[in-house]
Amino acid sequence: MTKRTYILSAFLLWAFMLQAARDTTEMRIVDISRIDTTIRLVYDLPLRRPATDYQITLQPAVVGQSDTLLLEPIVLQGKNMIRQLHRDHVLNHKDEEEPDYYPQRLRVNVLRDTMLLPLSEYRWLMADTVALCRMSQVKEGCCKVVEQDDECSEPFSYFEEKMQELPTEKQVASFVPIVAALPQEYTLNTIENTKMLVPRGRYMPYLRTEVLSRREDVLCVYYELDSITLKRNFRKNYVKLDTIVNAINTMLADTMAEIRTIQIIGLASVEGSIAHNEWLARERGKALKKYIIQETGVADSLFEVNNGGEAWAEFAWQIENSDFIGKNRVMKILKDSTIWPERKEELIKRMNGGRTYDYIRNNLLADQRNAGYIRVYYDLLTDSAAVAINTAVELIKAHNYDEALEVLLPFKDDKRTHEAIGVAYYMIGNTEEAERYWGKDLDEGQKGEQKEVEKEE
């Protein structure tokens, strides 16, 4: 072998190895991006012309974990193969238009192609780690047919590529689960120790036939005879009133508790005229409501004030559970539905020379002059925003950005959602909205600092 031949052979070997290395390194997915409802796919595919008497048919494809996108097959022709095809055309197909045996894309070493694909069908390109592969490569020539091994590019992840463009503090990888807010321990203790605090699910409308004093969740404050003035020191009302105010203030102070209804029943004793007692009962309920609003600031709309009128159900229960002369006769009168209430009172007053009624008035009727029933219905809230954030972060990690936004946007006023909303917007290409949400907390912080400066000045 001459020195010149040796140098030429070495050069050709080096060129072949360089070309082979270039084939592998240049085959790649350049970019996957989203434009509204379209996915833009850009890839580089190296093209190496076969020997003069051969042609290579290759099938490029984008291969993911869940699906494969087959691209248009490519046929690479050697020079002699092109001559043969041209000869065949002249001899057998001269009436037809002669094909381009040397297409423009084969005149470059690397083919760069751009495809626009519908998002609805090819979302997996954004979700999967994908690679560009040369598949089903068949080399045909004058003497043999060779099936060549498949080759694939380095893997490409839309998510990882885009996340590298984000500032470090915005990366989903830095997200930690949001700890959901819970009702305060003091609130829970107050609920446990205050029977007038009742879950909303146990709401009961008031019925005049109900004996309120038999219920464990009853809390009564009392009024003097023929009075609608609520006095703290009358019959130790201050104990009940302080319990009511403290319980309501506790619920109002806890963001994870919500008062739904404050139910009050005003009552009057059976002594006196029905019309007057109806007025007493109504005004006693209003007086308790007014006191609660003054002491707690709770909204007027939360109250349900019922007029219980004359407390005949309470009166009958008290008589039945007492022991005095004439009890059975009194119960007979009370159970007779044909007797009008005011007539019942007159009949009882005449019994035993008035002594039976004196006993009832001195021992029983005082307990009926009250706002005799107050319950506070409440809800303990779920930290829905925290639940939404944690759900959305998992959706973002799975590249389901639109779904993440659907979960997050109902809670956009909660600043804890801003980071995740910004990432989701960024990943769908809406950088303007992403920057707006990422800047919200910064803007709020600057406004807060400005207010502090103004206070100092």
**What own/partner pairs with CB < 8 Å and gap ≥ 24 does 383-389 have?**
383/180, 383/181, 383/182, 383/256, 384/411, 385/178, 385/411, 385/414, 385/416, 385/417, 386/178, 386/179, 386/180, 386/181, 386/416, 387/180, 388/417, 389/178, 389/416, 389/417, 389/420
pLDDT value of position 234:
95
pLDDT at 15: 46
Q: How confident is the model at residue 304 (pLDDT cuts 50, 70, 90)?
A: very high
**DSSP β-ladder status, 38-46 and 28-35:** antiparallel
- The pLDDT mean for the chain works out to 82
pLDDT at 289: 97
| pLDDT band per the 50, 70, 90 thresholds, residue 141 | low
Q: What are phi and psi of 46, to 5 degrees?
A: -65, 140
- Tell me the pLDDT tens digit for each residue of 413-422: 988 888 889 8
Per residue in 240-262, pLDDT tens?
999 999 999 999 999 999 999 99
Rounded (5°) CA angle 388-169-442: 80
Q: What CA–CA distance (Å, rounded) separates 371 from 288?
A: 7
Band of residue 368 on the pLDDT scale cut at 50, 70, 90: confident
Q: Which residue has the higher pLDDT, 142 or 440?
A: 440
